[in-house]
Chain A
Amino acid sequence: MAQDANSGKDLAAANSSSHDLVPEDSGTGVVSPDAVKNPGHPEHRKRVTDLDPKKEKQAERTVFVLFFLSAVGSLWAVAAYMMFPIDGQMELVRSNNLFIGLGATLALMALGIGAVHWGKAIMADHESVDERHPVRGTDETRARAIEIFEEANEESGFGRRALIRNSLIGALVVFPLPAVALFRGLAPYDEDPVELLQHTMWKKGTRLARDPSGVPIKASDVTLGSAFHVIPEDLNTAKDVLNEKAKAIVLLMRLKPEDLNELPERKNWSYNGIVAYSKVCTHVGCPVALYEQQTHHLLCPCHQSQFDVANHATVIFGPAARPLPQLPIEVDDEGYLVAQSDFTEPVGPSFWERH
């Protein structure tokens, strides 16, 4: 690092000694010989505390009081810690938070303001000047650095012995591979993500149940215009409940059959105007949980994609690209709604191998 020959010079001395510009390529910068001259450092103005000993004394007292208050604040925080126990009641937790916090705030603020005040009002306040030096090393230093590299090159033969140099580079490139391979262990070896994403736990005969209670839903419970948040009946006994739930959540709605515009191949996927759609947004996977009964629109709260349930859940607005997958449903002998099968396509966000 450049040594400052005259670092911290005071201003009067500095005014007389500005050294010459190192001529350098200024590119498109205009260096005008007719520029206005720098008037030099303005004269130093004294503060009230420099002129009036009473004011100085006062400033000293202020700083002292602030530091004293800071210590009081710290002790207060410790006392508050002891005096405000918490036992789960929101009120007590609030008091604990408030009173410890007040003490700590006082301690910190008073300390900080005191130190700054000391620095500004009492400590000597004449500005000083450091000279700058070009960031680049001096020509000698640079020449010596080059020389060192040349010597090292000569002594090692790094430039000359291309064979061993290149094989070294090759080996260094390959050497991190084992570490990369080790990271395969981050996920189970015996599972294939593409395979997993194709399926949910819905299968033929699985009853549609209320989320989160798991109570199965009868077709007769579903009144016109109503909507249910649905999970498979056996979800809560699944191995990885959240993983399964993340894929299997469904929204169930009943529309007037004449309002439903069903695709010909899906004619028998609904029951009496009751339709079931995946609740996982096809954008990036939030639960599409807001149903507007009047318009039959489903709204995703994350990025406002809207799906039209009356029109096989096609996207009518927002960044999502695909309709929500539909779950084919029917009714079992006891009148409960059941799935006819799993979804016929992967649910949720798109992925590379989805097609």
Chain B
Amino acid sequence: MSTAPAAVAAPAKSSGGFTGKAANYLDERTSISGAVKEFGRKIFPDHWSFLLGEVALYSFVVILLSGTFLTFFFDAAMTHTTYEGSYAPMNGVHMSAAMASTLDISFDIRGGLLMRQVHHWAALLFVASIGLHMLRVFFTGAFRKPREINWVIGFVLFILAMAEGFTGYSLPDDLLSGNGLRIIDGMIKSFPLVGTWISFLLFGGEFPGEDIVGRLYSLHIMILPAMVILFIALHLVFLIVHKHTQYPGPGRTEQNVVGFPILPVYAAKAGGFFFIVFGVIMATATFFQINPIWNYGPYDPSPVSAGTQPDWYIGFADGMLRLAPPHLEFVWLDRTWSFGILLPVIILGLFIVTVLIYPFIEAWVTGDKREHHLLDRPRNAPTRTAIGAAGVTFYAVMWAAASSDLIATHFRVTMEGVIHTLQALLFLGPVIAYFVTKRICLGLQKKDREIALHGYETGRIVRLPGGEYIEVHEQVSDYERWELVSYKDQAPIMLRPNAQGKITGSMRLRAAMSRWFFEDRIAPVTQTELDKSHGDDHH
């Protein structure tokens, strides 16, 4: 970076007071003025849906703050102790040091329970906001070139967040966390070839052993947070390199970004929003109890725990396990293949990988090499939106399955009925969601087209001199119309032989996919159509 003397002198010149001197001091040692010049007035577009990513970022900061407080008191050891803290009902109960210290945080440290609840609520919000942010990015097509890699980074963050959540949930070593680990242990053991040994190494011997909490603690407060921070940093660097996407609107193009500068407006709003997110988490932690481990007791492999639920973001995996049909296990080559567990794991894995690589699939189908900075309104990409709806439905069915017992008892239906229904819905639901969503999108597009060309119905009926009644249509303004007509249109590709005069299998597949994506399409209104319709309206 060039350090032209003029630039250095600038802050000192503009203000001779303390601030000026301090700025000068700093700049002479750090060249910071360059960064202010580069970023200070960077423009960020405004839209409520852009706040979802911010919620994720801010709740992570809250997690870091509250988690650090907890580390000062939490004892990640499974040494057996007898509880002697001030919560009387647990007095004399045998438990691990981890559980005892979590009880101490709750009952012997002022504000400790509040910090635990802040940490836990913030964790739930963190995963939820990443998920919603991801949906926003998907349904608006923000993952298209040049942002495919940032989609992958964001998705890795989603997975890391779930891993953070699961490891954290396991730390207090209460009945529920132990049961969660029990399930993980059983799943790991089912893996061919390596499962038994991975479980043995992970738990430091047999389940539950005395090592797992300490090991998960290393992951929870060191390795995973470091990775989360690294990926967030990368995510934000790319955000700056690409500049933020924007919704289509008058004056907005692929070559510009319209919004407010970082300094001062965006900083005030975003900074303020951080405190609001923190405030909402604090309020939730103030009024709503979460994870009352003293009601569950220490981990013991034996007691019942009917109706208990994992944290919400683990639900889909737990639900998928429940949906496997019985008797999927067999012995082959003298080894046990437990497909009752492997099949759900494989389905989950395929689902995750599909979401991860979706941007590359769509890019391959369209062959579109342009940069896309204007977002799609979901209706304007009907097939993508329908695929998204199918994915959401698939996830929702798995998630509902995690509460199959509660559904059965609540609605007084049989367990078998619930599971069989959900098994069917797992496959039918996404298909139905796909077709319904696609129809809705196309319908909305048609309506947009109608309004762009002929205006909207005013509900005002007038009688023409000829005695005929008509409803008056009001034309939309140019600005409003622009939002209805300015979307990117994609058409299916023609299958043509390549330079060698051949049609390869991959070309066929691409053509088929392209037809699937773009066959049903409503083309945007053209200028000619517009002129024509306005001509008609005037007569």
Contact B489 A304 (CB under 8 A): no
Contact A355 B193 (CB under 8 A): no
Q: What 0/1 pattern do residues 305 to 316 of B give for CB contact below 8 A with A? A: 111100000000
Contact B283 A353 (CB under 8 A): no
CA distance A24 to B258 in the complex (A): 23
Q: What 0/1 pattern do residues 121 to 132 of A give for CB contact below 8 A with B? A: 001110111111
Q: What 0/1 pattern do residues 157 to 197 of B give for CB contact below 8 A with A? A: 00000000000000000000001001101110111111111
CA distance A32 to B530 in the complex (A): 14
Contact A115 B485 (CB under 8 A): no
CA distance A37 to B42 in the complex (A): 27
Contact A129 B254 (CB under 8 A): no
B334 within 8 A of A: yes
Instruction: Return chain B residues, CB-CB under 8 Å to A222.
Output: none
Contact A102 B196 (CB under 8 A): no
Closest Cβ of chain B to A347, distance in Å, is 11
Contact B340 A320 (CB under 8 A): yes
Contact A249 B241 (CB under 8 A): no
Across the interface, B254 reaches (CB within 8 A) one of A4, A21, A211, A284, namely A21
B86 within 8 A of A: yes
Instruction: Return chain B residues, CB-CB under 8 Å to A131.
Output: 255-256
- From 493 to 523 in chain B, residues with beta carbon under 8 angstroms from any chain A beta carbon are 493, 514, 518, 523
Q: Given A97-B114, A100-B114, A301-B306, do A28 and B368 touch, yes or no (CB 8 Å)? A: yes
Across the interface, B482 reaches (CB within 8 A) one of A21, A36, A212, A287, namely A36
Across the interface, A36 reaches (CB within 8 A) one of B185, B277, B524, namely B524
A81 within 8 A of B: yes
Please tell me the size bucket of the interface on B.
35 or more
Q: Given A351-B195, A351-B336, do A108 and B301 touch, yes or no (CB 8 Å)? A: no
A168 within 8 A of B: no
Instruction: Return chain A residues, CB-CB under 8 Å to B268.
Output: 115-116, 118-119, 123
Contact A88 B526 (CB under 8 A): no
CA distance A30 to B487 in the complex (A): 10
Q: Which residue of B lies closest to A354 (CB)?
A: B336
Instruction: Return chain B residues, CB-CB under 8 Å to A148.
Output: none
A242 within 8 A of B: yes
Q: Given A28-B490, A289-B302, do A355 and B276 touch, yes or no (CB 8 Å)? A: no
Contact A29 B191 (CB under 8 A): no
Instruction: Return chain B residues, CB-CB under 8 Å to A37.
Output: 527
B206 within 8 A of A: yes
A176 within 8 A of B: no
Across the interface, A115 reaches (CB within 8 A) one of B42, B114, B269, namely B269
Closest Cβ of chain B to A187, distance in Å, is 5
Contact A290 B304 (CB under 8 A): yes
Instruction: Return chain A residues, CB-CB under 8 Å to B341.
Output: 283-284, 319, 349-350
Across the interface, A26 reaches (CB within 8 A) one of B260, B369, B415, namely B369
Q: Which residue of A lies closest to B251 (CB)?
A: A41
CA distance A285 to B110 in the complex (A): 38
Across the interface, A123 reaches (CB within 8 A) one of B264, B340, B415, namely B264
Stretch at the interface among A52-60, A191-199, A255-263: A191-199
Q: Which residue of A lies closest to B414 (CB)?
A: A317
Instruction: Return chain A residues, CB-CB under 8 Å to B329.
Output: 321-322, 350
CA distance A111 to B280 in the complex (A): 12
CA distance A302 to B111 in the complex (A): 34
Contact A187 B256 (CB under 8 A): no
B325 within 8 A of A: yes
Contact B525 A36 (CB under 8 A): yes
CA distance A40 to B253 in the complex (A): 9
Q: Which residue of B lies closest to A98 (CB)?
A: B286
A217 within 8 A of B: no
B213 within 8 A of A: no
Q: Which residue of B lies closest to A8 (CB)?
A: B41
Q: Given A35-B527, A39-B479, do A348 and B368 touch, yes or no (CB 8 Å)? A: no
CA distance A3 to B37 in the complex (A): 10
Contact B282 A135 (CB under 8 A): no
Please tell me the size bucket of the interface on A.
35 or more
B331 within 8 A of A: yes
Closest Cβ of chain B to A189, distance in Å, is 11
Across the interface, A29 reaches (CB within 8 A) one of B202, B260, B368, namely B368
Task: Pick from A105, A125, A322 the residue with the most CB of B within 10 Å.
Answer: A105
Across the interface, B322 reaches (CB within 8 A) one of A11, A19, A81, A304, namely A304
Contact A119 B264 (CB under 8 A): yes
B291 within 8 A of A: no
Contact B325 A88 (CB under 8 A): no
B385 within 8 A of A: no
Contact B201 A186 (CB under 8 A): yes
CA distance A246 to B524 in the complex (A): 65
CA distance A318 to B341 in the complex (A): 12
Instruction: Return chain A residues, CB-CB under 8 Å to B514.
Output: 28
CA distance A107 to B523 in the complex (A): 52
Q: What 0/1 pattern do residues 266 to 310 of B give for CB contact below 8 A with A? A: 111101111111111011011100000000000111111111100
Closest Cβ of chain A to B131, distance in Å, is 23
Contact A355 B187 (CB under 8 A): no
Across the interface, B282 reaches (CB within 8 A) one of A105, A113, A116, namely A105
Instruction: Return chain A residues, CB-CB under 8 Å to B404.
Output: 304
Q: Given A19-B255, A97-B113, A112-B275, do A352 and B336 touch, yes or no (CB 8 Å)? A: yes
Instruction: Return chain B residues, CB-CB under 8 Å to A29.
Output: 366, 368, 370, 488-490
Q: Given A135-B242, A351-B190, do A114 and B369 touch, yes or no (CB 8 Å)? A: no
CA distance A39 to B323 in the complex (A): 54
Contact B255 A7 (CB under 8 A): no
Contact A187 B205 (CB under 8 A): yes
A152 within 8 A of B: no
Q: Given A86-B110, A115-B275, do A283 and B186 touch, yes or no (CB 8 Å)? A: yes
Instruction: Return chain B residues, CB-CB under 8 Å to A105.
Output: 279, 282-283, 286
Q: Which residue of B lies closest to A285 (CB)?
A: B186
B20 within 8 A of A: no
Closest 3 CB pairs of A and B: A284-B186, A88-B86, A101-B286
New A-B pairs, 6, CB < 8 Å, besides A129-B256, A243-B209: A116-B272, A119-B268, A135-B146, A305-B326, A319-B326, A352-B189
30 contacts between A and B (CB under 8 A): A25-B367, A25-B370, A27-B368, A29-B489, A34-B528, A35-B526, A36-B485, A36-B525, A38-B253, A42-B251, A87-B86, A88-B86, A104-B286, A113-B276, A114-B272, A116-B273, A123-B264, A124-B265, A129-B257, A131-B256, A135-B371, A187-B200, A194-B196, A211-B302, A243-B206, A245-B301, A301-B405, A306-B415, A321-B326, A351-B190
